[in-house]
A and B are shown apart, each in its own frame.
Chain A
Amino acid sequence: MPSPGWQRFKRGPGWILLGAVVVALMAIGLAQNSDVLSPEERIEAISKRLACPICDGESVFESRNNASESLRNEIRAQVDAGVASDDQIITFIEQRYGAQVLLVPRADGVDALVWILPVVALVCGVAGLAFAFRRWKRAGGDVPTDDDRALVAEARRAGLDDDPPTDRPTTADRSATTDAAESGEGDGDGS
């Protein structure tokens, strides 16, 4: 049985601690990422950021067709030349092939929608859930009351004696019950 102190910790400082751990881990991950890469690793990294221009769902790195092979040759040539950064090479190819070759879309213009919409959807979803939970909580839980139990017991007794059981709610009854539950007065299907 968790102590009240533990409950309080879970609500306040616990979350802050969790946040701090996440931030620290992300910082470590980023720091490790910024190591100097070999030319082969750079070619791999760049070609994994580009989509094969004539097929769906494959990166230039894994695609085996002619267009992707040409792109890999170009990336290799530019990496070996050692002048352009990864982003410059990707921009060079994007200018010529169009933004659809970017596997990770840029966050500007209409393309920004692909970043914004999921966040909007998430926020809407969480807000909707919170709203719904609050309403359900207010409407009272589905915990049966003593009245409910008595009602069920009576119905069972009646069902043993004669069939069909008359107390079973019909479809019409059920929808009426739903209405009642929504208006906040329903607490069980016998009311």
Chain B
Amino acid sequence: MSDVVSDGVVPARPRRVAPFIALAVALVLAALFVVLAGSSPAGDNQVQSFLIGRPAPRVVSTTLDDQPFDLSRRKGSWVVLNFFDPTCVPCVDEHPELITFDEQQSGIPDGAELYTIINRGSAESVQAFFDANGGEWPVVRDPDGGVSVDFGVAQVPETWIIDPNGVVRARYAGPITAERVAQDLQAFREGRA
């Protein structure tokens, strides 16, 4: 074989392979770009869920005041559920917004009912947090985490809007502002969203 190409002629084969490799790499990069560009932006914390547009999961439990709570009996009013943990810093930071939201909603006709759902944290520590930081709305227990799992809540805080028909309408992962949730709620009420 060594005498077939005798006078330093550079074989053409490597030159033909390289562009194809480059093309393959370019295609993979382009696909990656398309996938990343198509994903939802990180700024908006209203997130997708399988449950949006579907009936809300069953929530039957008790409140910290030992009153029974059954989400299906709240039909007829807008319900906002806030998943909360007193040891979570974003939850604590979010709390004043929830107070603003609750006060504002109780001042308007057809205002939403706000419920906090706690998984971790003893009843005493949560009660102490609400006593110290304010908040008049009911706190619902979720001792085995079943409500969190049914809603797919991995990380608190999360906030959910459920309409008077018991259908899930919105999900927010991370801290919310009173203004944002009130605006979205109003849009839902007026049938704009």
**A, B assembled together:** yes
Interface residues of A (CB under 8 A from B): 53-54, 66-67, 69-71, 73-74, 77, 93, 95-98, 110, 138-140, 179-180, 182-187
Least CB distance from B37 to A in Å reads 13
Check A185 against B155 for contact (C-beta < 8 Å): no
Q: Who on chain B is nearest to A71 by CB? A: B149
Interface membership of B148, Cβ < 8 A: yes
Check A96 against B150 for contact (C-beta < 8 Å): yes
- Of A96, A180, A185, which contacts B151 at CB under 8 A? A96
Check B8 against A180 for contact (C-beta < 8 Å): yes
Check B152 against A97 for contact (C-beta < 8 Å): yes
21 contacts between A and B (CB under 8 A): A54-B154, A54-B155, A66-B119, A66-B120, A67-B154, A67-B155, A70-B148, A71-B145, A73-B144, A73-B146, A74-B150, A77-B146, A95-B50, A96-B49, A96-B149, A97-B152, A179-B8, A183-B8, A184-B2, A185-B3, A185-B6
Check A139 against B50 for contact (C-beta < 8 Å): no
Interface membership of B35, Cβ < 8 A: yes
Q: Who on chain A is nearest to B142 by CB? A: A70
Give the residues in chain B near A70, CB-CB below 8 Å: 119, 144-146, 148-149
A53 and B6 CA atoms in complex are apart in Å by: 64
Check B149 against A73 for contact (C-beta < 8 Å): yes
- 3 tightest CB-CB pairs across the interface, nearest first? A70-B145, A96-B152, A53-B154
Least CB distance from A182 to B in Å reads 7
Interface membership of B1, Cβ < 8 A: yes
Mostly, the A contact residues are helix
- Of B14, B145, B152, which contacts A66 at CB under 8 A? B145
Least CB distance from B9 to A in Å reads 6
Q: Who on chain B is nearest to A95 by CB? A: B50
Least CB distance from B65 to A in Å reads 24
Least CB distance from B132 to A in Å reads 23
A71 and B8 CA atoms in complex are apart in Å by: 68
Q: Given the known A-B contacts A70-B144, A95-B50, A96-B51, are A184 and B149 also in contact in the complex, defined by CB atoms under 8 Å? A: no
Least CB distance from B141 to A in Å reads 13
Give the residues in chain A near B150, CB-CB below 8 Å: 74, 96
Instruction: Fill in one digit per residue for B25-41: 1 if any A CB lies within 8 Å of its CB, else 0.
Output: 00000000001000000
Q: Who on chain A is nearest to B121 by CB? A: A66
Check B51 against A187 for contact (C-beta < 8 Å): no
Q: Who on chain A is nearest to B4 by CB? A: A184
Check A74 against B11 for contact (C-beta < 8 Å): no
Give the residues in chain A near B23, CB-CB below 8 Å: none
Give the residues in chain A near B51, CB-CB below 8 Å: 96
Least CB distance from B170 to A in Å reads 16
Give the residues in chain A near B22, CB-CB below 8 Å: none
Most buried by B among A138, A183, A186: A183
Give the residues in chain A near B9, CB-CB below 8 Å: 183
Interface membership of B42, Cβ < 8 A: no
- Of A54, A74, A179, which contacts B149 at CB under 8 A? A74
